[in-house]
Every structure is written in C-alpha cells, then in structure tokens.
Amino acid sequence: MNGIYEILDERFAVLAGGDQQLEQLATGCRWAEGPVYVPAGRYVVWSDIPNDRLLRWDETNGVVSTFRAQAGYVNGNTLDRQGRLVCCEQGNRRVTRTEHDGTVTVLADRHRGQRLNSPNDATVTSDDAIWFTDPDFGIRSDYEGHRAASEIGACNVYRIDPGTGAVDLVVSDLRGPNGIVVADGEQVLLACDSRAGEVLAYDLAADRGTVGPGRVVARARVPGFDNIRLDGDGRLWVAAGTDGVHCYHQDGTLLGRILVPEIVANIAWAGPKRNRLLIAATTSLYSLLMTVSGPPPTRATPLLDLRPMSRATAAALLAGDRPSDVTTAEDYPTEFSAGMAVAIGNGSPLGPFLIHRREDGVVVGDIGGGFTAPGQVELGYAIATSCQGQGYASAAVDALISLARQASDVALMIGHTPLDRPASARVLEKAGFTLTGTVTDEHDGQPLRVLEWQLRMRKPPH
C-alpha cells in the first residue's frame, strides 16, 4: 500500500507518482455521476442524478455552480467532435445534444418504435457516430428517474448513425450495460456489464456499425463495476464502486487501485494535459493530478479520420513490421512511421495518430506533434507513396491544427520540410504556416538542412 494507491503489480508504481491525496472539488450531491471536461471553457460538468441537476466546476477558479436544473435525471455525459454536450437522460429515457446556442436536440428516444429504458453512458467515434448503453437502472424506481416497465424488454447497446440518425442495435447479450469506450484506434468497443461485474471487448467490423462476439477483459473483485476509461497508453481504468478505481494492463492484469472514501460511480480525464483524473463518488467530485494522461481525441474530415495509434501498431512499427491490427496501404509503413511510434504515450495532445482513409478505413499514413519546449509542438507526418497527391497530407495537417487550437498548452506549432520536397512545403504554407528560415535537422542520424515553418496558436504562456 502506498497512501491512496494499492500497488498490485510493479508496473503500477510509475502511475502512482502524481498527487498523493485526493482533492475534493465539490460535495453535497446525492449520487454523483458522469463527469465530462469541456476544454474550450476549462470546466467540468457532472450529474447529481437524484437531485435531477447538472453541476459545473470551473477549473480556473474552483467555483461550483448549477449548470442545469430539472435536467432529466442525466447519468453519463460526453462531448461530440464539435464540442457539444451529449447527455444520457435516464428520466426522459433519451440521448440529447446541447447545441452551442443552448437549445437541446433529441438524438435518440426509441428503437423500432419502443421507448428506450434509461440511457446510461455514451461515447463518440471519429465518424461522429454515438454509441450508448441502455440498462433499466433509471426505470426500476423513482430515485434516479421514473418507475416504469421496459418496452424493449432487454438491456442493450446502440449506435446512432451520424448520417441518418437511425438507432441501431449493436450488443444485446449484456445484463446491465453501463460504461462504454472505444479502444485500439477505434478497432474495439469496450462495454461494462455492471450486473455481471465484467468489462467485455467487441471487435468492430469493417462497416463500423456492427461488432463481433464479446470477450471478457476484466472482472470485478466485488460487485460495483460502473463506467470505464482508457489512458493514453491503452490501460483500462474502471470505476469499481466500493473497491475504488481499478487500473488494468493491456494483458488483463489488475495493476493497482486508487482508494476512495466513497463509492465510486464514474471517472474521466480532464485538464489541458488530460492528466487530471476526475472521480465521481457518491456525494463528491474528487480529482487527482497524475503522471499518466487520457488519450488524445480523434479528428475526422470528409476525406479521412485521425485515430490514436494503438500500442500494438506502435510495437509492430518499432520492430520494423507492418501492423496487423489495422488495414494499411500496401506500402505502409513509411520511412518515418517508426519515429512516430516512439512518441506514443508522451503526453502530447496531438498524437501520434494513424491517418485512416474515410471511405474504407485503410491507413494511408501517420501524423503527430510532440513537445520540444513548453507550449511548442513539432509537427511530423508522412503519407504512403501510393497515396500521395490525393489531398491526404493537407487534410491531416488541417485536422491536427484543429486539435492544437483546442489544446490550451499548445502555443506554437513548428514544421520542417526537406529542401528537395516542395510539395511538403506547400502543404504547410496552405495550412497557414509561415516560413522562418533554414535550419539543420537530423534524419537517420545524419544532419539535414530543412526549411522551418511556424504557426502560432495563441500568445505563448508567460
């Protein structure tokens, strides 16, 4: 035991090097749930379900206020790719989106004409599809919703199609579906079954709308598994009720626990570096600043998706092999791919990412940005030769810049282009970078003269 950390495997020790005591950000709830961090405003929204309200904690000054009263007994919350709040309203038996002007849009309230039970948690993929769980927790009593009979007669996982808005059944073999995330570069769907005390993994099919059979990747020691999250290195974190917060390695080993004085219902990553772990536990919202960060967000364009590079892909690239967990262009990896793989888990909000062609999901390249100084990120990307000249480089750079503008700790982006690659220079110039001169870089251990480009995001930190 190490204070609030119980180290069950030596690999957890490095993760326990941050805050050594919980910080109570707020209290006074009846049952705290569903925290989500809004980076554009640097605040957290979370649910107090029995009191039928959403609360707000301001990261800049610590002020707690009511975000929304009579909220529909909201449970889980997330953000879509446009930064809009998506809520699972147990009481209203629906999934909604709060628009930028404050109006509320209903995204799902029925499946095949029958009312949903009580949507619980949701996640959004880079194609803008929304995946959500629908147990019966909110209709079993009036404490967290309204007592009612289930019209569907089952507890399922659904997907809201981003194009048609159709609500499609995805998983139907869970007793109490709860937390939900996507993993491994959006190749795997993870769902927690609270009643079974298990987390299951489902491989996403090529159509990105259906899944294969489930397999158990984590089991509760005591009843109480609730929501789930991944960190930037792919480890699984579970809100484990009276057993605190669990952390599992990718090999399934329970590495350790965070001990919490109240029953843990929900966790989420927050902060400019995504290294503040939020813990919603009964009456309170707690946090820990940690040495590990949450995963970077994905980004989609009409041409491509940027998805975080999985550890399996990174391991293959570092070994000089072609990844087997994703479908790639015939001439991928590129000469720069191994360099991208080295950066996985470096805490940068900008990847590394795989560049997936939108039409078929094939990997055509990679892109990322790593910190070279406080507030300063160096951009790197490469497109497979067979896929060059089709607009992928420009689309990927624009998508990465969009992510950088949302990251409060990124003030300046720097890019280097070889003197003999004018096409690369045109990509950065088109994206708004300014040429600042010629410098000496290093490639394969040899000095290389390159053009240096800069793009300022905002005033650098003082």
According to the model, what pLDDT value does residue 459 have? 41
Which of these, 118, 227, 117, 135, lies nearest to 175 by C-alpha position?
A: 135
According to the model, what pLDDT value does residue 462 have? 36
Cβ burial of 280 (10 Å; 0-12, 13-18, 19+) is: buried
According to the model, what pLDDT value does residue 461 have? 40
Mean pLDDT of the chain: 92
Largest CA distance in the chain: 71
Kind and range of the H or E element at 404?
helix 392-406
Q: Assess whether pLDDT exceeds 80 at residue 270.
A: yes
Q: Assess whether pLDDT exceeds 70 at residue 70.
A: yes
Instruction: Take residue 44 and report the two structure tokens written for it.
Output: 């957290």
CA distance 203 to 183: 10
Instruction: Take residue 115 and report the two structure tokens written for it.
Output: 């009312």
Q: How confident is the model at residue 3 (pLDDT cuts 50, 70, 90)?
A: confident
Contact by Cβ (8 Å): 67, 55: yes
Kind and range of the H or E element at 104?
strand 104-108
- SS3 label, residue 339: helix
192-276-102 Cα angle (round to 5): 75
459-461-462 Cα angle (round to 5): 110
Contacts of 271 (CB under 8 A, 6+ apart): 37, 59, 289
**Positive or negative torsion for Cα 56, 123, 362, 324:** positive
Which of these, 306, 341, 305, lies nearest to 322 by C-alpha position?
A: 341
- Stronger pLDDT, 192 or 183, i.e. the higher one: 192
CA distance 430 to 43: 34
pLDDT in tens, 441-461: 876 678 889 999 999 985 434
Which residue intervals of the chain bear CATH 3.40.630.30?
A: 299-456
Average pLDDT (378-386) is 94
- Stronger pLDDT, 346 or 425, i.e. the higher one: 425
Contact by Cβ (8 Å): 452, 438: yes
CA distance 351 to 397: 12
In DSSP terms, 261 is beta-bridged to: none
- SS3 label, residue 80: coil
Kind and range of the H or E element at 317?
helix 311-318
Rounded percentage of the chain residues whose pLDDT exceeds 70: 97
pLDDT in tens, 131-151: 999 999 999 999 999 999 999
According to the model, what pLDDT value does residue 458 have? 59
Q: Assess whether pLDDT exceeds 80 at residue 4.
A: yes
DSSP 8-state symbol, 2: B
CA distance 271 to 265: 20
Average pLDDT (14-42) is 95
pLDDT in tens, 421-439: 898 999 999 999 999 999 9
Architecture of domain 5-289: 6 Propeller (2.120)
Average pLDDT (350-362) is 90
According to the model, what pLDDT value does residue 127 have? 83
Kind and range of the H or E element at 418?
strand 412-418
Average pLDDT (265-289) is 96
Q: How confident is the model at residue 343 (pLDDT cuts 50, 70, 90)?
A: confident
CA distance 432 to 454: 9
pTM of the model: 0.80
Ranges 41-45, 155-159, 181-185, 336-340: which has the least confidence? 181-185
According to the model, what pLDDT value does residue 460 have? 38
Average pLDDT (318-344) is 91
CA distance 344 to 201: 22
Average pLDDT (198-203) is 96
**Positive or negative torsion for Cα 177, 204, 370, 355:** negative
pLDDT in tens, 394-415: 999 999 998 888 777 788 999 9
CA distance 294 to 278: 11
Report the top-level CATH class of 299-456: alpha beta
DSSP 8-state symbol, 325: S
Which residue intervals of the chain bear CATH 2.120.10.30?
A: 5-289
According to the model, what pLDDT value does residue 92 have? 98
Cβ burial of 318 (10 Å; 0-12, 13-18, 19+) is: middle
